[in-house]
Chain A
Amino acid sequence: MDAMNTRSSLRLLLALAFALALCARPAPLCAGEAGKEPCAVSPSVAGRVSSVAPDQAGAILARLSLACDEGFPLAPFEGKLAEGLAKGVAPAIIIRTLDVKLDAFRHAAAMLRDCGLQPAPEVLAVLGEAVFGGVPAKTLHAYVCGYAGREPGPFLWGLEMAVLLSRAGFDDGLTRQMLDAGFATGGLTPDWRYFVRVVLVARQRGLTDQAVAEAACAVLRGGGAPSDVSASLGFTDRDLSGRELGK
């Protein structure tokens, strides 16, 4: 009888543990707006912060809390924190970088509002990272205000495409020609986000950005894909793949 009771008690405790495990979620960092999911620091990040001195850990968490309060997606800030800790960056520099990143996201949110858009998390993440990464505000503002009325999907894909092209030093005017062609025909699909790959391979082969843009516009007007651009320029998808990284 005792043994049976003991087994019952163990089963009861295990059931409670399962229930707790199912209910377990990262602890809310702060309350979100009504109807929104509350922000929360992931357990892995919380564990990493615990390796920092308490006062600096408090300052780091305060930045994350601020990002949450201002309605910014938390993942870019958590990622930057994890990156800094992994690279052995001094906590004071991590804190300063998080401040710079907060400013970048504030700037991005203001830019979206200036152009009559609500700062949706996906767009804000791309735009905030672009501002933080040094993409010129003029380039970003021209895109956001120029294509503000477009469908959310193509608007986001076009933004990612423009940001990567800008990082590669592609001319803004040529980018705008391609985007105009894509939005006009509805041919801007998710594949076009990484069109910069075609540009970089084309440059290696001695082709000009102008030639690439012209080929891309023609393909976009016909509803084609980036692979059609590379084919029209004389190379295939195979040329875009298989390179070993590093060395």
Chain B
Amino acid sequence: MTKSRNARQKDAPARGPRDRDTARLDAMIADAVRRAPEPSPPDGFSARVMAGFAPKRPSPLTLLRLWLTRPRSVTFTPVRLASAMAAAMVLLAVGFLALDRAPVGGGGPEGPTLSTVRFVLNDADASARAVSVIGSFNGWEAETSAMRYDAGAKVWVLEAELPPGDHEYMFLVDGRPVADPRARLTRDDGFGNVNAILIVNGRHEHTL
């Protein structure tokens, strides 16, 4: 402002004594203002001003949009790709297993009530090496229902949690199917064997 005023004074044409007095007075006032002591700002003024200029944090939606629209490059080596593919295969296998598992032993909060059933097979001379229960409740898989030998009672035993329903089963003794000799209800399996029928009604009234 002082500079522009000086410029105007320099560019102005020559005037009368009254104009010169006015110009001198202006110069004196400007000089007094320049020399006047400068008051210091109140406490915290600078911090408050700077706080007004602090950058705003973008919303999560904006961050997501920025992340999705920001171009990026993807590089990999064959070794890293192989390990990633291996991890992907493991995840797929886990997914398949999770989808495929029948709720024989589990059952969520809304699932059917499971009842404990105790399977027992006599083996007084401990002649069998491995015994399992295979049935419609475990997909006829011997691996999931191996029995243990109780040497004191001389019997093979398995306790299993079964859902309500009528289930068919047989014992698998050293790989050979053996019918339950004490089954009260049986059924021809179509292969020349006899399956026992086990009825579970879900209220721990579980056996026949």
Please report A residues at the B interface, Cβ cutoff 8 Å: 2, 5-6, 8-10, 12-14, 16-18, 20-22, 24-25, 42-44, 79-80, 82-89, 93-94, 97, 100-101, 132-134, 160, 164, 167-168, 191, 194, 196-197, 200, 237, 240-247
Q: What residues of chain A lie closer than 8 Å to B175, measured between beta carbons?
A: 88
Complex-state Cα separation, A194 to B172, whole angstroms: 27
Please report B residues at the A interface, Cβ cutoff 8 Å: 72-76, 80-81, 84-85, 87-89, 91-92, 94-96, 99-100, 117-122, 134, 136, 139-142, 155-156, 166, 170-172, 175-177, 180-185, 187-191, 193, 196-199, 201, 203-208
Q: What residues of chain B lie closer than 8 Å to A160, measured between beta carbons?
A: 166
Shortest Cβ distance from A75 into B: residue: B136
Complex-state Cα separation, A12 to B74, whole angstroms: 9
Q: What residues of chain A lie closer than 8 Å to B121, measured between beta carbons?
A: 246-247
Complex-state Cα separation, A12 to B76, whole angstroms: 11
**Beta-carbon contact of A24 and B96 below 8 Å:** yes
Complex-state Cα separation, A143 to B91, whole angstroms: 49
User: Which has the most chain B C-beta neighbours within 10 Å: A80, A94, A237, A244?
Assistant: A244
**Beta-carbon contact of A134 and B166 below 8 Å:** no
> With A80-B190, A87-B193, A245-B207 known to touch, is A194 a contact of B201 (CB < 8 Å)?
yes
**Beta-carbon contact of B134 and A14 below 8 Å:** no
Known interface pairs A5-B74, A14-B84, A194-B201; 16 further A-B residue pairs with C-beta atoms within 8 A, sorted by A's residue number: A6-B80, A9-B84, A10-B87, A22-B95, A42-B100, A44-B100, A86-B172, A87-B172, A133-B188, A134-B187, A164-B199, A197-B208, A200-B185, A244-B118, A246-B120, A246-B156
Pair count A-B, CB < 8 A: 163
**Beta-carbon contact of A101 and B190 below 8 Å:** yes
**Beta-carbon contact of A244 and B120 below 8 Å:** yes
**Beta-carbon contact of B84 and A86 below 8 Å:** no
A233 to chain B, nearest CB (A): 15
Judged by DSSP, the binding face of A is helix
Contacting B139 at CB < 8 Å: which of A14, A44, A93, A243?
A44
> With A8-B72, A13-B85, A82-B139 known to touch, is A88 a contact of B177 (CB < 8 Å)?
yes
Q: What residues of chain B lie closer than 8 Å to A191, measured between beta carbons?
A: 201
**Beta-carbon contact of B204 and A241 below 8 Å:** yes
Complex-state Cα separation, A12 to B85, whole angstroms: 11
